[in-house]
Structure formats: C-alpha cells, structure tokens
A and B are shown apart, each in its own frame.
Chain A
Amino acid sequence: MLHLINKSPFERNALDSCLRMARPGSAILLIEDGVYAALAKAAHAEKIISRMDDFSFYVLGHDVAARGLNDAPLIEGIDVVDYEGFVDLVAEHDVTQSWL
C-alpha cells in the first residue's frame, strides 16, 4: 500500500495516524505541507527515523523546493522523487491511501 501525507505534522495528526495504522512494508510519500515531516532537525524527526525499518519513505522534491527546504537537511533515508517518481509509486502499489 502507498500512503500519501499532505498535511504538516505540526498542525495535524495525519502522519501519526498513518504510522500507527499502516502495515510494515508500506510506502509513505510526503507531499505538499506533509514535506515538513522530512526536516531532519525538527522536533518530530524521531517519529520517522524510528520507523525507517518498517516503511520506505519518499518526499516530493517539487514541494520541498517550493518551501525553501532544499538547503535544509532532510532525514537520511527518505528518497526524493519528482512527479514521474510519484506516478511510478502509484503504479507500483495496488492501493493508495490519502491521509487527508
């Protein structure tokens, strides 16, 4: 399953719920305001770092650049994808769940 997170982890609990409900082995793609979850120096970074073995994490590069985070360290092990990579992820997984 592919999980999409488009809400800031500071404002909503979408990421928390996703991390609690998703089966290990799932892919989690951070888009739009969800990309703030990828900030390595942020207070909540441990949430993702501690689940690196359970999930493969991706972040949409265009949304990272738009928010000026290209120069900010992102959590190591999160793969940056472009729109093609987004489409590939959707195609690779039978089901996509959006955590709106």
Chain B
Amino acid sequence: MALATRTDPERAAQKGPRQRPEPPRKPARSPSLIGSVWRSTVGKKAVMAVTGLIMLAYLAVHMLGNLKIFFGPGDFNGYAHWLRTLGEPALHYEWFLWLVRVALVASVVLHAVAAYQLSRRDLAARPQKYARRRQKSSYATRTMRWGGVILGLFIVWHILDLTTLTVNEHAEPGHPYQNVVATFSTWYGNTIYIVAMLALGLHIRHGLWSAAQTLGTGRPHRDRALKIVSTAVAAVLAGGFIAVPIGVMTGVVS
C-alpha cells in the first residue's frame, strides 16, 4: 500500500475530506519602502544605524567646536555667534542652527522609538530565563539600553543647562564661555557631564561598529579594523568632551 501514502492532489481531493479552500489572500499592495523597512526588525535597526550616524557626525563637530574654549572667551563666544549667523544672507539669523536642531530631534526620536520597540520585542522573545547563564558579550554591548536612557536624560539636562540656561545659576545669555565655566565650577555639573561622556564613549564603541554591521558593511576580514575604528572614535570623542570640564577644574580655563 505504498501508493496510498502518495499525496497526489487529485486523489486527495477525491478521497480525503474536502480541504477547506484557502482564504483569499489580501490583494498584493505595492509595498511602500518606508513602511516595509520600518515593520521589519532588520529595517528598524537600519533606521537606528542611520540616525546614530547622523548624531555621531553632529557630535564630532560639536566636540571640535567645544575645544575652542581653550583659546579663550573671545574665540569661543565668537564661534558661538558665528554659528547663529552661518548661512546668512541666504538664511535668516539662527536658521541654520534651527535646521540642525530639527534634524537632531528627528534623529533622537526615531532612534529612541526604534530602540524601545525593538527592546520590547527582544525581551518578549525570551519569556523564560535560563537558570544559569554565561554572558560572553562586552560591557559596552550589555549597557546599550540603559546607557541610551542615561544619554537621553543627559541631553535634557544639557539643554536646560547651557542652551535655555534654566538650571544654570550664574548664567548670562550671550556669554557661552562664562556659562560653561559656571557649570563646571560645580561638583554636580562635573559629575553629571563626565559620567554621561563615559556612557557616550561606551555607547559609540558598540554603536558605531554595530551600525556598520547593520548597514551591511561587516565582513570577517575587516572586522578587526571596524572594531579599532569604533573604539578610537569613541575614545577621541569622549576624551575631547571631557577635556572641557578637566580644563575648568584644573584652572586652564577660567
């Protein structure tokens, strides 16, 4: 009776119980690029990679600008004013700055929403934990989520402190050099800033390498180079930012 095991569609239709017809498929909607990318875990990660790189590019410029503080109040305050007049007369006063701010807010929001949605999904994918677990991932990798939350909170404080000057006690509008010195003359200003910059370094160390993987540039033969570049960029950025509070604390900047 070997033949009886054959699943010939005609025979199955004649002999077996009538199979229920397949429900009609949804009409094939032409898949929109953005929609299908955002719905997939791979696509959402690509959004995180691109927005992360946008923020990283901004941070590189921001860090270099910060270092102007070592050339004195004239240089630093002049640079801050120049940023507001950049693009004139094509752009109005401060328009360039606002364009950058809009792009950054969009990047932060997309990055955070994607991270939140992916994290929810990741945690749900392992409902039952292991009784015993041996972690092999790096510290930077394991701290991406909470490190990201710390950075988000830091950005809020940083804007209230040095942009809107809401929480900066001795701040004067239009005097960024003096305001920076005022912030780093307090113990809490230094602590918050340095902790956040160390978190930033860790976040970039994994994040930049991870973005390269997510955007499809990772290959076994260039993995070492990508890791070295990520670690170097993370160290230079964190070091460059931390140089400012160190400079104020040691009296180099006053």
B and A form one assembly: no
Which A residues contact B (CB, under 8 angstroms)?
A: none
